[in-house]
């Protein structure tokens, strides 16, 4: 067993958190996100309410104090993410939720969290933009912003839910990955899944896998807050404990103090990438809504709210075998899964509520081997299955018949 696994085992726990059984509830996506955060162990929320994410703040204001947590409504989104970073450094699992306009304001401090290697979760419930845009309408146009919204070379994890159940499950996963890799994780939801209500099953809390950050095993005087273990992830002590350390947005060495030599900077920036890219087996999640062993006429690559209309459309193509590959992890991009699925298909279709973001990545992965078609919509409305069916028909006529 290597060190990475050993430390992982040590930091997984199934803490008794009260209730002993699974609960069937009828919840809104935003409520399920708040439930998931609390189940994952989050005890701090700082945010500035914004449609269509406000119910997350509302649920946290009610539920966090009841479990000994803290809810703060901040003056704005800049302050929200700053408070989350500070809270997380004290050892508390912390998060915030927002939508496009607020997510833009959080980018600078999200960069601080990436460079400072501060575990935290940011929920972005996407709405139609740009700017204030259509405040109550859905979109999926923040895919690239989530990945590239900050300046400088940096890497982070982005997950995207398609059902209310996934809102719960993936929020737990988001916290686990943030803690595992000492990195921010974005839960990229959308107005459709966030405002939708469905029956969900919340597992027995004792059965939920919880990952907690690695704590230093050395005495305080030997602690180097940015010295990675062999898995690339440095243990993180708590502010306020006997471990006294410095976190800065400037380039820093293993001690956490400003250090500007090229060798250190190059290695640090590289490690921000490798600590994630060397563990893709723990990060990349996809769902095959077909038998992955099957040969397909058409592979439909979806994420978030495009998944379900695409699945409905795929079920209605009697003369054509279509299968939906749902990207649950959007970043790092699940290249290998897409390449493998595309190899078994004759053509690929990427429907998305934007004018072309995920399709660029799919084209990069698939190359010229298979034709890749898009279906793009940016008018504040979600896809109907019939729209996807119509596009499938067009694609079929172009290259499958």
Partner 1 sequence: MKETWQVVLAGEGGQGLIVAGILLAEAASLCEGKNAAQTQSYGIATRGGFTKSEVVISTEEIVYPGVEEPDLVLALTPEAYELYARSLPPEAVLIYDTSLIDADQMEKSKARTFGFPFTDTARELGRVGVANLVSLGAIVATTGIVGAESLEKTIRHRFSGNAAELNLNAYHRGLALAGKE
Q: Is 317 in the site for partner 1 (CB under 8 A)?
A: no
In the complex, what is the shortest distance from the CB of residue 382 to partner 1, in angstroms, rounded to a whole number? 7
Distance CA 210, CA 179 (A): 9
| Residue 199 binds partner 1 (CB under 8 A) | yes
217 belongs to the binding site for partner 1 (CB under 8 A): no
Alpha helices in 196-279 (DSSP H): 262-277
Does position 393 interact with partner 1 (CB under 8 A)? The reply is no
Q: With CB under 8 A as the contact rule, which of the stretches 23-31, 224-232, 235-243, 335-343 interacts with partner 1?
A: 23-31
Q: Counting contacts by CB under 8 A, is residue 192 touching partner 1?
A: yes
* DSSP-derived 3-state class of residue 14: coil
Query: Which of the ranges 144-152, 180-188, 193-201, 233-241 carries the binding residues for partner 1, by CB under 8 A?
Result: 193-201
Burial of 293 (0-12, 13-18, 19+ CB in 10 A): exposed
d(CA 21, CA 249): 44
Looking at 265, 312, 339, 400, which residue binds partner 1 (CB under 8 A)? 312
Closer to partner 1 by CB, 3 or 384: give it. Answer: 384
Q: Tell whether residue 21 is a contact of partner 1 (CB under 8 A).
A: no
Ramachandran angles phi, psi of 370, nearest 5°: -130, 145
Q: Does residue 384 belong to the site contacting partner 1 (CB under 8 A)?
A: yes
**Please, what is the Cα angle at 311 between 306 and 313, to 5 degrees?**
95
Q: Where do runs of H (alpha helix) occur along 116-159? A: 143-148
Out of 21, 26, 246, 355, the only residue in the binding site for partner 1 (CB under 8 A) is 26
Q: Which of 271, 324, 329, 330 is nearest to 302 (CA)?
A: 324
User: CB neighbours of 227 closer than 8 A, spacing ≥ 6?
Assistant: 234, 254
Exposure b/e, 306-340, CB count within 10 A at least 16 = b = bbbbbbbbbeebeebbbbbbbbbbbbbbbeebbee
Query: Is there binding between residue 58 and partner 1 (CB under 8 A)?
Result: no
Report the residue number, 139 or 177, with the smaller CB distance to partner 1. Answer: 139
User: In this structure, are residues 137 and 380 in contact, taking their beta carbons and an 8 Å threshold?
Assistant: yes
Which of 161, 228, 235, 382: binder of partner 1 (CB under 8 A)?
382
Please tell me whether residue 311 binds partner 1 under the rule CB under 8 A.
yes
- Residue 195 as a binder of partner 1 (CB under 8 A): the answer is yes
Beta strands in 210-364 (DSSP E): 210-211, 286-288, 296-302, 322-327, 329-331, 345-352
The residue among 252 and 308 lying less far from partner 1, judged by its C-beta, is 308
Nearest distance from residue 24's CB to partner 1, in Å?
Answer: 7
Beta strand 197-202 pairing with 23-28: antiparallel
Residue closer to partner 1 by CB (options 52, 111) is 52
- For residue 295, the tally of other CB atoms under 10 A from its CB is 10
Query: How far, in Å, CA of 57 to CA of 45, rounded?
Result: 8
Number of H-type helices and E-type strands within the chain:
14, 17
Residue 48 beta carbon to partner 1: minimum distance, rounded to whole angstroms:
18
Considering only residues 161, 309, 323, 351, which one is a binding residue for partner 1 as defined by CB under 8 A?
Answer: 309
- Of the residues 17, 63, 197, 215, which one makes contact with partner 1 according to CB under 8 A: 197
Q: Which of 97, 105, 141, 196 binds partner 1 (CB under 8 A)?
A: 196
Considering only residues 3, 218, 244, 315, which one is a binding residue for partner 1 as defined by CB under 8 A?
A: 315
Can you give the binding site for partner 1, defined by CB under 8 A?
A: 24-26, 51, 135-136, 192, 195-199, 308-309, 311-312, 315, 382, 384-386
């Amino acid at each position: 067993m290597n060190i990475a696994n050993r430390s992982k085992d040590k930091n997984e726990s199934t803490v008794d958190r009260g209730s002993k059984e699974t609960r069937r509830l009828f919840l809104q996506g935003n409520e399920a996100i708040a439930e998931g955060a609390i189940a994952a162990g989050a005890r701090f929320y700082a945010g500035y309410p914004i449609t269509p994410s406000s119910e997350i703040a509302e649920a946290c204001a009610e539920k966090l104090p009841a479990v000994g947590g803290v809810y703060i409504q901040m003056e704005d989104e800049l302050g929200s993410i700053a408070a989350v970073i500070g809270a997380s450094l004290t050892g508390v699992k912390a998060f915030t939720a927002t939508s496009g306009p607020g997510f833009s304001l959080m980018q600078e401090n999200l960069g601080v969290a990436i460079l400072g290697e501060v575990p935290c979760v940011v929920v972005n419930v996407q709405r139609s933009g740009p700017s204030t845009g259509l405040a109550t309408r859905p979109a999926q146009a923040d895919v690239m912003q989530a990945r590239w919204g900050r300046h400088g070379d940096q890497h982070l994890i982005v997950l995207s839910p398609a059902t209310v159940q996934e809102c719960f499950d993936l929020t737990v996963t988001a916290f686990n990955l943030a803690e595992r890799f000492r990195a921010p994780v974005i839960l990229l939801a959308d107005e459709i899944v966030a405002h939708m209500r469905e029956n969900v099953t919340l597992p027995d809390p004792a059965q939920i896998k919880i990952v907690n950050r690695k704590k230093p095993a050395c005495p305080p005087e030997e602690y180097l807050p940015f010295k990675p273990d062999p898995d690339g992830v440095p243990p993180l002590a708590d502010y306020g404990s006997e471990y006294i350390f410095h976190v800065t947005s400037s380039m820093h060495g293993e001690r956490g103090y400003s250090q500007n030599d090229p060798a250190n900077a190059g290695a640090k920036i590289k490690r921000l990438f490798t600590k994630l890219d060397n563990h893709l087996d723990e990060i990349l999640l996809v769902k095959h809504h077909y038998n992955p062993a099957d040969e397909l006429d058409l592979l439909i690559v979806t994420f978030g709210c495009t998944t379900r209309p695409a699945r409905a459309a795929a079920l209605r193509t009697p003369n054509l075998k279509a299968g939906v590959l749902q990207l649950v992890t959007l970043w790092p991009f699940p290249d290998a899964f897409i390449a493998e699925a595309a190899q078994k298909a004759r053509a690929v279709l990427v429907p998305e509520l934007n004018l072309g973001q995920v399709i660029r990545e799919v084209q990069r992965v698939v190359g010229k081997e298979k034709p890749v078609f898009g279906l793009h919509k940016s008018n504040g409305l979600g896809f109907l299955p019939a729209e996807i069916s119509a596009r499938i028909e067009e694609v079929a006529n172009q290259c499958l018949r």
